[in-house]
Amino acid sequence: MTRDQHLEHRIRVRAPEAGESSPSTRGHVLPGEQPPPPFEARRPSDYLLRAAASAAGQAYKSLAIQQLAIDADDTILDLGCGTGGELATLLRALGPDGSLIGIDTDDDALRVARERFDDRRLRLRSGDAHALDLADESVDRVYVDRAAQHFAAPATVLDDLRRILRPDGRVVLAEPDWQTLVIDSTEPELAANYRRFVVDQVIRNPRIGSELPRLVQVAGLRLDTVLPATATFTDPVDADQVFGFARVTRRAVAAGYLDDDQADRWLGSLTGGLFFASLTIFITVAHRGG
């Protein structure tokens, strides 16, 4: 890959075309009330699949999976596979003698994945990322997509990934740094308070995307490259499917990062005019030495 290709990959999400309407939340919306469209009041059951299928999701995921450099007969681990948003892509990269293991702690998500796939090469199991029930040097490729931000002890997980990787085996981790979250606002202090709440309270490991290049090396893996992929949004409806503005804003009020009036103005401003938001996901690629 050339130096220019290592520069930031920008993922654009379409803005509404001329004549398309976008419902407004300019009306008075208190944080405890049911928000009107376009913001969702509750996290939808198909959130993970919908995020995976979005334009922003497809772009960075395609780049990350490309970095796995999968061989047809590899054994791949999708750690934190959820409902299986990437399982189909990984299976297509394998030949008849390859195998794919999906591990997650969410039994409901795994049940959805089992309903979606019937492939003898695929094994889905419930398991703890911090103590993988896999033999030493049994896996060729490991894919981790936005799961490390939730790990209780990322360093412990990376130590175990090194254990299960075969010599020259590769791991690709695609994780955001939530400090890079940008939401344009005519009241920038509200945007700053919202981001501060996300970093302080919402995500367990909010800076993991920029920490992983160091952490993989501490775990004894060899760092190959880091690719930043910035998702940009110009449609608040599309952005809400990723960020959950109404849900997170209610929590920010409860935690004291915004008051009711600020929350009302914040939600209203997001659809009251032109919109822009972005978040950078860092794709860290490393391997176990031979």
**Each residue's pLDDT tens digit, 104-144:** 999 999 999 999 999 999 999 999 999 999 999 999 999 99
Answer yes or no: are the C-beta atoms of 237 and 22 closer than 8 Å: yes
Answer yes or no: are the C-beta atoms of 65 and 58 closer than 8 Å: no
| Distance from C-alpha of 282 to C-alpha of 227, rounded to nearest angstrom | 6
Residue burial 56-92, b: 16+ Cβ < 10 Å; e: rest? bbebbbebbbebbebeeebbbbbbbbbbbbbbebbbe
Answer yes or no: are the C-beta atoms of 84 and 112 closer than 8 Å: yes
The tokens for 136 are 């030493």
Report how far apart, in Å, the C-alpha atoms of 42 and of each of 111, 198, 241 are.
Answer: 21, 17, 11
- Coil, strand or helix at 225: strand
| Distance from C-alpha of 140 to C-alpha of 104, rounded to nearest angstrom | 19
Mean pLDDT (whole number) for 74-102: 97
Query: Angle CA(228)–CA(155)–CA(243) in degrees, nearest 5?
Result: 45
Identity at 285, one-letter amino acid code: V
Q: Is the dihedral of CA 79, 204, 30, 279 positive or negative?
A: negative
pTM of the entire predicted model: 0.84
With 0-12 / 13-18 / 19 or more C-beta atoms within 10 angstroms meaning exposed / middle / buried, residue 114 is middle
What is the per-residue pLDDT for 19? 36
| Distance from C-alpha of 199 to C-alpha of 257, rounded to nearest angstrom | 12
Question: In the predicted model, what is the mean pLDDT of the chain?
Answer: 87
What is the per-residue pLDDT for 39? 81
Mean pLDDT (whole number) for 239-265: 95
pLDDT band at 36, cuts 50/70/90?
very low
Query: Angle CA(64)–CA(247)–CA(107) in degrees, nearest 5?
Result: 55
DSSP summary character for residue 265:
H
Helices (H), 24-170: 47-53, 55-67, 87-93, 107-116, 154-164
Q: What is the pLDDT of residues 144-192, one digit of tens each?
A: 999 999 999 999 999 999 999 999 999 999 999 999 999 999 999 999 9
